[in-house]
Amino acid sequence: MAKKILFVDDEEDIRMLVKRLLENMGYEVLLATNGREALDLLKKESVDLALLDFFMPGMSGRELAESIRKEPEIKDTKLAFLTVAEFGVIGKEELKKLGILDYIQKPFDNENLRKRIKKII
Amino acid sequence: MEITVRETMEKKYAEQLLRGSEEKGLKDSIKNKIEREFGEKPKDFMVAVVTSAENYFPTDIAILNYLVNTREMKGVYVAMNKPYPTLVKILQNSNIDTDKLFFIDAISGNLGQDAGIDNCVFLSNPSAISELGMTVLNLCDEKKADFLLLDSLSTMIIYNDRLDSVRFAHYLITQLRKYGLAGVIMSLDKYKDPEAIKDISMFVDKVIYLK
């Protein structure tokens, strides 16, 4: 059975592109446009990985990750960022505290994306 | 009666002196904290400074005093709170060497370079984030500075939405790092916009809280 990835990004073009790429890699892909939608989806569907954008209106990727970690039924979800963000010293510590397994920077190389996701799931 | 009046006046004078020394004590304590925090940092540090409204300006001055006067660094000052003419006077009165600063005035609303002022660029308005980004990039290219101070993230959020402000601050930090400049992102007390500060904290090396 194909592994399932939830991808959360407010930009439609990015969502469509990443969905296509991940499906070509053999994953089943669910999409969410924002943090609230992502939380609702995660409570209904079990995923192998939630791949989050950082910069999203309303709830940022960081807030979403914090919210996920606070919800008992989804707190152990594997998380990674797919983002333009570059993190400083504090950011990297915060990523560890939130249990973010990786962050892949946009613009990304397809092969690099494939390898990094394979490493996680 | 005479003694009572004198005692009252002496008491008032003593109270004034005490208030003055408390203020001075407060300023010294901000100055000491800034020197201690910034003193440990390498040349290309990136910090966010979060302070209360009442300590905001003394903190701003203490940072400039340390970077410009003590470490003799040249800086770019992004002014979103006070217009250039007012700001320069205040800084000069606080003994900050303004010859070492280049200003980006985002608040006066005079587009382009004013013919009489060669150390300030005026943006069209505080929402002109793209203009601000281009201006900073040009200044980095021209190697005009060793650091940039953004005064302030809180004011930027008043004129732009939180996402755009955080995105812009992140862009700024990334560019500064590429050019090897140090950065200081000023922000008001965390209770004003805690989520924006938490997000920004992920891009800097340290958050300095001064209550």
- Give the CATH number of the domain where residue B197 resides: 3.40.50.300
Q: How many Cβ atoms sit within 10 Å of the Cβ of residue A66?
A: 16
Q: Do A91 and B170 touch (CB under 8 A)?
A: no
**Counted domains in chain A:** 1
* Distance from the Cα of residue B198 to its chain's centroid: 19
Q: What are the backbone dihedrals phi and psi of residue B52, each rounded to the nearest 5 degrees, phi first?
A: -75, 165
pLDDT (0 to 100) of residue B26: 63
The tokens describing B32, both together, are: 């000491």
Token reading at A54: 């950082």
Q: Pick from A56, A63, A88: which is nearest to B203 by CB?
A: A88
Give the distance from residue A57's alpha carbon to the nearest chain B alpha carbon, in angstroms: 6
Nearest beta carbon to residue B205 from set A55, A86, A89 = A89
| Strand B147-151 with A28-32, pairing | unpaired
Tens-digit pLDDT string for chain A (121 aa): 899 999 999 999 999 999 999 999 999 999 999 999 999 999 999 999 999 999 999 999 999 999 999 999 999 999 999 999 999 989 999 999 999 999 999 999 999 999 999 999 9
Q: Where are the alpha helices (DSSP H) in B94-145?
A: 129-141
A vs B: CB pairs below 8 A: 49
Q: What is the token pair recorded at B1?
A: 């009666």
A101 lies in which domain range?
A: 4-120
Would the CB atoms of A90 and B167 count as touching at under 8 Å?
no
* pLDDT score, position B33: 87
Token digits for B85?
Answer: 């003419």
Domain extent for B43: 2-210
Q: Rounded to the nearest 10 degrees, what angle do helices A61-70 and B194-201 cross at? A: 100
Q: Which residues of A touch B46 (CB under 8 A)?
A: 88
Minimum-distance CB partner of A86 among B167, B203, B205: B203
Residues of B in contact with A89 (CB under 8 A): 204-206
Which chain B residue has the Cα nearest residue A95?
A: B202
Tokens of A91: 């950011």
Taking CB atoms and an 8 Å limit, are A60 and B199 in contact across chains? Answer: yes
Mean pLDDT by 10 residues, chain B (211 residues): 55 54 67 84 88 92 94 95 93 96 89 72 91 93 92 94 94 94 92 87 93 72
pTM of the model: 0.86
Number of domains in chain B: 1
Domain holding A19: CATH number?
3.40.50.2300
Please return the burial class of B120, using the count of CB atoms within 10 Å of its CB with bins 0-12, 13-18 and 19+. buried
Q: Which residue in chain A has the smallest CA separation from B171?
A: A85
CA-based nearest distance B20→chain A, Å: 38
A90, A94, A103: best mutation site toward chain B, by most B Cβ within 10 Å?
A90
Cis peptide before B152 (omega within 30 of 0): yes
The answer to whether B167 contacts chain A (CB < 8 Å) is: yes
Q: Residue B141 corresponds to which tokens in the numbers above?
A: 């290219």
pLDDT score recorded for residue B1: 46
Residues of chain A whose beta carbon is less than 8 angstroms from a beta carbon of chain B are 55-57, 60, 62-63, 84-91, 94-95
Q: Which of A115, A89, A121, A87 is nearest to A103 (CA)?
A: A87
Tokens of B90: 């205040």
Helix (H) or strand (E) holding B155: helix B153-159
Task: Look up residue B100 and give its DSSP letter.
Answer: G
Token pair of B11 as six digits: 């008491």
